[in-house]
Amino acid sequence: MKRPMLDRGRLAIGDMRLRITLRELMTTAGIVGASSAAAFLVKPMNGEASEALIFVLGIMLCGAFEGLTAALIAAIAGFLIYNFYFAEPVLAFRLARGSDIAPLLVFNLCAVISGVLAGRLKDSVQAANRKNEALSRLLEMSQALQSAVRLGDVAAALRATPSARSGVSLHLFSIKNGRLQPLMDGAAQPEWQAMAERSLQSVDPIRCEDGLTAHRLDGSDGPLGVFVFKADAVTRLEPPFMAALANLFTLAMERATLSEMIEDVRALAKTEELKTALLSSVSHDFRTPLTAISASASSLIDYREQLDRDVSLRLLQGIVDDCERLNRYTANLLEMSRLEAGALPTNLQKIDVIEMLVAVMQRVRPRLNERRMTRLFTGTDIVVLADASLFELVLVNVLDNAILYSERKSCIHIEVEDDGGYCRITIADEGRGIPDEDLERVFDRFHRVARTEPSPLGSGLGLAIAKAFVGALGGSIAAMTPGIGLAGTRIVICLPLVKEDRPQ
């Protein structure tokens, strides 16, 4: 910015155009008028010189306040008035002698000097303002960049870009799949994109061409992107400042890339964890019934003659029961992987909760084994929006748990009520219950309550699926103790109701 003054002066004159607004013209007329009036006032007291000085003052003021054009107009007007009213002979124009022309020259010289000086001052103030604005926007951006963690944050910081009005425009390109892509909304102009491409190829990380400057953003593992900007002559930006900004971009983008990688690694670890859990579940929960089936079936083949009819029947019934168990595990695993994959329930339909519960109760009835089911259904037309087979599976899971963890001849109580906006389904049993510390964790995948007494083992999936299902529908599920009386478990499911008009 250390340019010779002369150069800047010439530049300033070159930049100035002779334009004037109505407001400036009015001010000029006012000042010229006031100067004339003042000259008339001093005329009786002094000679021509002081009158001329008053006009010079007026012209200077016009130049200072309104610029070169106004000063020149004021100079012409002032000269005409001065020549006509004040210079001898009064009330006549005369341009015969040198002393007649002198005021014209002096006035115009004053006008040019004051106008140019004032104009330059004004321009530099304006330029300083624009530069200030650009700098403060860039600083804002750099602050935002320092806290950016994702590529999205970097893009958001870019939205605080200095406007074109402040003389700076910039674009950031990131490298995605080996290709440069503009990080900001909307496609970049082709010459910007081309500039970025060239910068990627060039040896020097900084490249200036046709008013565009490109900074290649080199991360530790090669280029991350390119930062291209254009600043006009007035808002010239210090190269070190822009280099610092480019550095910030590099850091922010590197951070974003790294954090994305960490997320990927975490997701992978989570998938691995799920896979391991699934495998252990499959090996345990599937092998147990399979072992029983295999033992029963092979016994029936090998000892057909020795086994009496009752034992044979019992073995056969065991095979059928274990098949049903395997079937439920399979269904649970399938639904779990669907829910884990984040698939939203697509098959939603209006389902009458009571109708569904009745169907489910009929389905589990063969497994009740002398347990009783009691129920209290209050309200009619309790309708929810759900996936029918998933809803059925969830209810079967909860009821199966109630059966699995309770004694024969005990009671399982099922309640449905309309709770305003929600339908509340309660399934309570008199079984062994859940320790307080496990009440929340029973909904975790593969979580099994550690028990001292021998107890049957479920797949550890049933309640996790129930929770995922209920969550996807905007409802809730909770486990509480006790269930009935002082013993057992109570599972409460709340689902949002679908309001319907009762048909006529």
Partner 1 sequence: MTATRILIADDEPSLVAVLQPVLSAAGYEVAAVADGKGAVAFILSHDLDVVLLDLGLPDIDGKEVIRRVREHVATPIIVISARHLEAEKIAALDEGADDYVNKPFEIGELMARIRAATRRRGTTTAPMAFYRAGPLAIDFPARRVLYDGETIKLSPKEWELLQVLARSAGQVVTHKRLLAAGWGVETTETQYLRVYIGLLRQKIEEDPSDPRLLLTEPGVGYRLSAAE
Residues contributing to the site for partner 1 (CB under 8 A): 320, 323, 327, 331, 334-335, 347, 349-352, 354-356, 358-362, 375, 377, 380-381, 383, 387-393, 500, 502-503
Q: Which of residues 195 and 360 has its CB atom nearest to partner 1 in the complex?
A: 360
CA distance 64 to 78: 16
Q: Which of residues 387 and 438 has its CB atom nearest to partner 1 in the complex?
A: 387
Smallest gap, in angstroms, from Cβ of residue 308 to partner 1? Answer: 23
Q: How many Cβ atoms sit within 10 Å of the Cβ of residue 125?
A: 10
Q: Which of residues 196 and 351 has its CB atom nearest to partner 1 in the complex?
A: 351
CA end-to-end span of the chain: 86
Q: Which of residues 243 and 326 has its CB atom nearest to partner 1 in the complex?
A: 326
Q: Which of residues 256 and 425 has its CB atom nearest to partner 1 in the complex?
A: 425
Smallest gap, in angstroms, from Cβ of residue 298 to partner 1? Answer: 17
Smallest gap, in angstroms, from Cβ of residue 294 to partner 1? Answer: 15
Smallest gap, in angstroms, from Cβ of residue 396 to partner 1? Answer: 10
Smallest gap, in angstroms, from Cβ of residue 408 to partner 1? Answer: 22
Q: What are phi and psi of 429, to 5 degrees?
A: -135, 175
Smallest gap, in angstroms, from Cβ of residue 290 to partner 1? Answer: 14
Q: Tokens in use for 177?
A: 């799949």
345 φ/ψ sector (left φ>0, alpha ψ -120 to 50, else beta): beta
Q: Are 150 and 183 in contact (CB under 8 A)?
A: no
Q: Which of residues 180 and 353 has its CB atom nearest to partner 1 in the complex?
A: 353
Which amino acid appears at position 503 of this protein? P
Smallest gap, in angstroms, from Cβ of residue 209 to partner 1? Answer: 60
Smallest gap, in angstroms, from Cβ of residue 177 to partner 1? Answer: 36
Q: Which of residues 52 and 383 has its CB atom nearest to partner 1 in the complex?
A: 383
**Whats the size of the chain, residue-wise?**
504
CA distance 64 to 116: 9
CA distance 384 to 348: 9
**Three-state SS across 347-360?**
CEEEEEHHHHHHHH
Q: Which of residues 224 and 393 has its CB atom nearest to partner 1 in the complex?
A: 393
Q: Which of residues 283 and 327 has its CB atom nearest to partner 1 in the complex?
A: 327
Q: Tokens in use for 30?
A: 């006012």
**Which distant-in-sequence residues (6+ apart) come within 8 Å of 98 by Cβ?**
none
| Integer CA distances (angstroms), 391 to 122, 400, 473, 483, 496, in order | 75, 14, 10, 22, 13
Smallest gap, in angstroms, from Cβ of residue 354 to partner 1? Answer: 8
12-14-20 Cα angle (round to 5):
85
Q: Which of residues 184 and 361 has its CB atom nearest to partner 1 in the complex?
A: 361
Could you write out the DSSP letters of every residue in 10-42?
HHHHHH------HHHHHHHHHHHHHHHHHHHHH
**Three-state SS across 223-289?**
EEEEEEEEECCCCCCCHHHHHHHHHHHHHHHHHHHHHHHHHHHHHHHHHHHHHHHHHHHHHHHHHHH
Q: Which of residues 201 and 346 has its CB atom nearest to partner 1 in the complex?
A: 346
Q: What are phi and psi of 250, to 5 degrees?
A: -60, -50
Q: Are 379 and 344 in contact (CB under 8 A)?
A: no
Smallest gap, in angstroms, from Cβ of residue 321 to partner 1? Answer: 11
Smallest gap, in angstroms, from Cβ of residue 473 to partner 1? Answer: 15
CA distance 57 to 285: 103
